[in-house]
Amino acid sequence: MVRINTYILKQLLTLFGFFALVLVLIYWINRAVRLFDRLIADGQSAIVFLEFTSLTLPWMISVIAPIAGFAAVVYVVHRLASDSELVVLQTTGLSARDVAKPVWIFAVSLATLIMILSNVLVPISQSKLHQRQLEVAENMTSRLLTEGTFLSPSNNITFYLRQITAEGELEGVFLNDTSNPTKNLTYSAAKAFLVRSDVGPRLVLIDGLIQNLDLFTDRLTVTKFNDFVINIGQIISHPLQQLRISIILPVSKSLIK
């Protein structure tokens, strides 16, 4: 009986490894091509690409493991039946319960693996991935600090900075956002500050205008503000998120200081 259990378990583990490897490769290649293009286009190295993809593997495996396990069980049972091995086992006096024992052992082991992945490895890897995303966003944001040059950190964003003072103030800031197909947003400010936060770098605009051009009606709305905060980390092409701009409610100058 021990040899029979070992034989069936060996087939289950072998096919589980095969199906899991195929599914992970298919999913990884599909995601990695877009991630590679985005990171390389942003000037990141291949090491950053490998680090990002490795941090997504625990989550990827936790999603694919149940599918691979189910496919392995179905394939092994079908092959045992088609090769008449189940008939031979039943003629030796083994019941269906005895034959199903290695399958239950495999299922419990797989459930334990998924539990460990979901409750331990995935949270750790996601936390590390989020931290690395913020670091990459900050590194990419620092490229915007170029005086007198129109920069395009993404296809839909244009940024201009006239001057950086010795105190770190940004003067003559211009930012145009065309990521929304229905409107064209233009931000301009006399000065600005680049500050850090728990969710990434933020650009604090002081004394400026927001020009909102509706592309359907050709109506231009102008809003004047004393201070305004933009989550600039999400303006830049993000490796794992769609390009979007997140506007935060105005803050007081006392908080800026």
Q: Span 109-114, mean pLDDT?
A: 92
**pLDDT of res. 144:** 61
Q: How far apart are CA 234 and CA 138, in angstroms?
A: 10
Last residue of a domain, one of 141, 157, 189: 141
| pLDDT for 203 | 81
Q: How far apart are CA 110 and CA 161, in angstroms?
A: 55
- pLDDT at 115 > cutoff 90: yes
Q: What is the percent of the chain with per-residue pLDDT over 70, rounded to a whole number?
A: 77
Cα gap 100→74, rounded to integer Å: 12
92-103 pLDDT per residue, tens: 777 777 777 888
Give the per-residue pLDDT at 143: 58
pLDDT in tens, 125-168: 888 887 777 666 655 555 566 777 887 777 788 888 888 787 76
Interval 24-81: pLDDT, tens? 888 877 777 666 666 655 556 667 777 777 888 888 888 899 999 999 999 988 888 8
Both 168 and 250 in one domain: the answer is yes
Enter the pTM of the model: 0.53
Rounded Cα distance between 194 and 189, Å, is 13
Residue of 197 and 41 predicted with greater confidence: 197
Cβ contacts of 42 within 8 Å, gap of 6 or more: 136, 140, 153, 236, 237, 239
- Give me the domain span that covers residue 236: 145-256
83 lies in the same domain as 160: no
Same domain, 104 and 157: no
Q: Which two tokens stand for residue 105?
A: 């052992």
Per the structure, how many domains does the chain have? 2
137 and 103 both lie in a single domain: yes
pLDDT of 252 over the 50 cut: no
Residue 11 shares a structural domain with residue 117: yes
Residues 36 and 152 in one domain: no
pLDDT of amino acid 125:
87
Least confident of 21-30, 170-179, 214-223, 226-235: 226-235
Three-state secondary structure readout of the chain: CHHHHHHHHHHHHHHHHHHHHHHHHHHHHHHHHHHHHHHHHCCCCHHHHHHHHHHHHHHHHHHHHHHHHHHHHHHHHHHHHHCCHHHHHHHCCCCHHHHHHHHHHHHHHHHHHHHHHHHHHHHHHHHHHHHHHHHHHHHHHHHHCCCCCCEEEECCEEEEEEEECCCCCEEEEEEEECCCCCEEEEEEEEEEEEECCCCCCEEEEEEEEEEEEECCCCCEEEEEEEEEEEEHHHCCCCCCCCCCCEEECCCCHHHHC
Residues 81 and 137 in one domain: yes
Confidence of residue 110 (pLDDT cuts 50, 70, 90): very high
**216 and 168 in a common domain:** yes
Given a cut of 80, whether residue 241 has pLDDT beyond it is no
Q: Are residues 125 and 149 in the same domain?
A: no
Q: Do residues 95 and 177 share a domain?
A: no
Please indicate, yes or no, whether residues 152 and 213 belong to a single structural domain of this protein. yes
Greatest alpha-carbon pair distance for the chain in Å reads: 88
Average pLDDT score over residue span 78-89: 79
- pLDDT in the model for residue 249: 31
Tell me which of 111, 141, 171 is where a domain ends. Answer: 141
Lowest mean pLDDT among 90-94, 122-126, 181-185, 244-248: 244-248
What pLDDT sits at residue 244?
31
Domain stops at, among 141, 174, 200 = 141
Task: Tell me the C-alpha distance between 72 and 247, whole Å.
Answer: 48
Say if residue 237 is in the same domain as residue 135.
Answer: no
Q: How far is CA 252 from CA 88, 113, 195, in A?
A: 80, 50, 14
